[in-house]
């Protein structure tokens, strides 16, 4: 009885150990236990990455590729320096309502001319009115006359016209001496508003008009309707070209 009992206990312990051993997956041959791997990624020995990588926190980034496609909105802060490759093309939208200011850099030393012109029309009962006056130099306030040997080039004309609401204007512009003849430069005055019985017009145009030496610049307005009164002011900006050695036809 004692020997049989010991044999039964021994067999039971061996069977339980075999059961535990069979429930643990065997380790493949040559397997290495898991350990912490540290990756060092430097600019001289960068690790290529494919796919999407999530980056958090402040990261110093140096982009060395020649072109970088960007989708969406890009916000630029500060005043970064921007350069264009040789041969790059830039398209600028320039229309009458939002014109781009320009400067004649090739003629930066030319004599600038700034003129002021004004007209005052009193109600006369006539069905139409027409008036004109010579523009004056804003420096001397004397009537401007293009100096001998020079040519006046007008670059910009602007002004306002106020007419009593019973009337209106049909034309406004400048008269120039060109080749011994009078040449008209018309400005399209656009109605802005009517307030307290007065209708307001305004005009502003960039032009290239030429006046020969010895000639004046005359501002004129034409209007209609009986008993109409008008007050008009124009400003002329331009420059003088030395023609002592001859000037081109235009």
Gyration radius of the chain's alpha carbons: 44
Neighbours of 144 (CB within 10 A): 23
Q: Is 120 part of any domain?
A: yes
Residue 176's pLDDT band, with cuts at 50, 70 and 90, is very high
Mean pLDDT across 138-158:
92
- pLDDT for residue 116: 95
Number of domains in the chain: 1
Mean pLDDT across 206-223:
90
Residue 225's pLDDT band, with cuts at 50, 70 and 90, is low
Q: Is 60 part of any domain?
A: no
Cα 134 to Cα 144: distance, rounded to the nearest angstrom:
8
State pLDDT tens for residues 51-99: 777 777 776 666 666 677 777 777 777 777 777 788 888 887 777 666 6
Q: Is 155 part of any domain?
A: yes
Q: Which residues pair with 134 in a beta bridge?
A: 218
Percent over 90 (pLDDT), the chain: 21
CA 184 to chain centre: 33
Percent over 70 (pLDDT), the chain: 68
The residues near 178 (Cβ < 8 Å, ≥ 6 apart) are: 210, 211, 212, 215
Q: Is 65 part of any domain?
A: no
Domain containing residue 188: CATH number: 2.60.120
Q: Is 28 part of any domain?
A: no
Tokens of 182: 């009078």
For tokens 């002329």, name the residue.
Answer: 236
- pLDDT for residue 152: 92
Q: Is 193 part of any domain?
A: yes
Are 132 and 173 a contacting pair, CB within 8 Å?
A: no
Mean pLDDT across 166-172:
76
Q: Is 22 part of any domain?
A: no
Boundaries of domain holding 209: 112-242
The residues near 190 (Cβ < 8 Å, ≥ 6 apart) are: 201, 202, 203
pTM of the model: 0.53
Higher per-residue pLDDT: 225 or 1: 225
Round to the nearest angstrom and report the end-to-end CA distance of the chain: 137
- pLDDT for residue 106: 55
Are 135 and 236 a contacting pair, CB within 8 Å?
A: yes
Q: Is 81 part of any domain?
A: no
Give 56-107 as a 3 state SS string: CCCCCCCCCCCCCCCCCCCCCCCCCCCCCCCCCCCCCCCCCCCCCCCCCHHH
- pLDDT for residue 102: 64
């Amino acid at each position: 009885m004692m020997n049989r009992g010991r044999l039964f206990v021994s067999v039971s312990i061996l069977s339980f150990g075999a059961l535990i051993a069979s429930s643990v997956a065997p380790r493949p041959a040559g397997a290495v236990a898991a350990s912490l791997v540290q990756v060092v990624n430097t600019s001289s020995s960068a690790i290529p990455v494919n796919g999407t990588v999530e980056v958090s926190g402040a990261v110093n980034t140096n982009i060395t590729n020649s072109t970088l496609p960007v989708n969406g909105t890009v916000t630029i802060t500060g005043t970064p320096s921007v350069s264009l490759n040789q041969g790059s093309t830039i398209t600028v939208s320039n229309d009458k309502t939002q014109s781009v200011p320009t400067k004649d850099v090739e003629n930066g030393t030319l004599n600038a001319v700034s003129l002021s012109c004004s007209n005052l029309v009193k109600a006369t009962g006539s069905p139409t009115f027409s008036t004109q006056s010579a523009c004056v130099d804003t420096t001397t306030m004397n009537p401007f006359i293009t100096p001998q040997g020079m040519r006046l080039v007008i670059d910009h004309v602007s002004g306002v016209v106020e007419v009593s609401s019973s009337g209106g204007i049909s034309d406004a512009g400048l008269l120039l001496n060109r080749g011994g003849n009078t040449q008209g430069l018309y400005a399209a005055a656009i109605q802005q508003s009517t307030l307290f019985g007065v209708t307001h017009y305004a005009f502003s145009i960039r032009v290239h008009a030429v006046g020969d030496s010895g000639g004046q610049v005359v501002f004129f307005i034409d209007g209609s309707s009986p008993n109409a009164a008008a007050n008009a002011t124009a400003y002329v900006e331009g420059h003088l070209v030395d023609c002592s050695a001859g000037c081109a036809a235009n």
